[in-house]
Each structure stands twice: as C-alpha cells, then as structure tokens.
Amino acid sequence: MKTERLVIPDVLLITPKVHHDERGYFLEAYRQQVLDEAQGGALRFIQDNESQSSYGVVRGLHYQLPPYAQNKLVRVVAGRVLDVIVDLRKSSATFGQSLQIELDALRKQSLFIPAGFAHGFAVLSEQAIFAYKTDAVYAPDYERGLAFDDPQLNINWQVPREHMILSDRDRRFPVFAGLQDLYP
C-alpha cells in the first residue's frame, strides 16, 4: 500500500497494490498498521457502512460533533464518485478549505478523513457503491451538516444542478459562515 498526504496534510490517499491474474484480482483494502503509521496514531474502527446510489445523488456534507466525531476511511466498491471534504477545525491552518477527489472502483483507492471534517460525495457513474469505516457510531443527536451549495466554498460537484438528487435534510443545512458547531 502506498499512502500519500494531500493538500490538506491530515488527509491521506491510500493506493493498494492490486494483483491481477486469469482469475481476476486480489488486493489488501485495509491494514491497520499502515494507516496508524501514516497518520501518526492508533485508530480503532468500530463500524462499517455502505451505501448504493444512482447518478446525480449528492450525499452531504455531514459531520458529527464530539464525543461522536468520526475518523473515516472511505472507498468506492463499484462506480465512481466525487468525494468532498471541508476542514471545520478552527485551529487548523486549512480551516474552511475544501478538497475534492475522484474515487472509483478501478483505482480502488481509499481516502482517510480525520475527525473535524464535513464529508460528502456526488455519484458520477450510473450507479455507485460507497463503503466507509468509522471509529465512532452514528449518533443522530450529534450529527450536523453544511450546505452543499455554499457560495463561499464554491464546490463543483461535477453534476449539473438540474440532475442533482438530494435529501430534504441535505438541502436545509446552513452555509459555512452560519455554522455554530465547529471543532476546536
């Protein structure tokens, strides 16, 4: 596995070594030791989640507050998505910055997203299956969100607005400037 720090240094792109032969392929999708060494700590993932979505679905931008803030390790099992994160850590040099990266089933890369980030994705393929590990359980009372269409963030979701499919809840989240629940 190869780990690479992205523009926001605490975020890691993990590229597995894929072994192909006449039977198909094999890869090691996750190894705790590699992630611990790359991110400088010890994580304990406790929940795996998976979603299936169609082209144009935009999920997010979501986050959870402490004590249920989540470190996430995300990857695409089938299809292609634009993964989007926003740094909500007030003490960070990259506070308020967003990062967009395409993840797909062909490259099989994973993205490590530390706690303190809003996270979402847009489906760019006909269908996508998105999987993620978290180190804290889903806690609805601690869940918050950020407007997907915040003009300050100016995120290009790569899906025309008229083709976007969003939940009512995701349409109602506040803009970045109006967020009151941020990380230290």
Provide the annotated active-site residues: 62, 132
Residue 102 lies in a domain: yes
Domain residues for 145? 2-178
Report pLDDT digits (tens) over 14-31.
999 999 999 999 999 998
Q: pLDDT tens digits, residue range 151-165?
A: 999 999 999 999 999
CATH of the domain at 99: 2.60.120.10
Does residue 12 form part of some domain?
Answer: yes
Confidence band (pLDDT; 50, 70, 90) for 184?
confident
Query: How many other C-beta atoms lie within 10 A of the C-beta of residue 22?
Result: 4
DSSP string covering 97-122: -EEEEEEETTT--EEEE-TTEEEEEE
**Total domain count, the chain:** 1
How far does CA 108 lie from the centroid of its chain? 14
Residue 72 belongs to a domain: yes
User: Does 18 map to a domain?
Assistant: yes
73 domain-assigned = yes
Classify residue 150: in a domain, yes or no: yes
User: Is 184 contained in some domain?
Assistant: no
| Summary mean pLDDT of the chain | 95
Residue 183 forms part of a structural domain: no
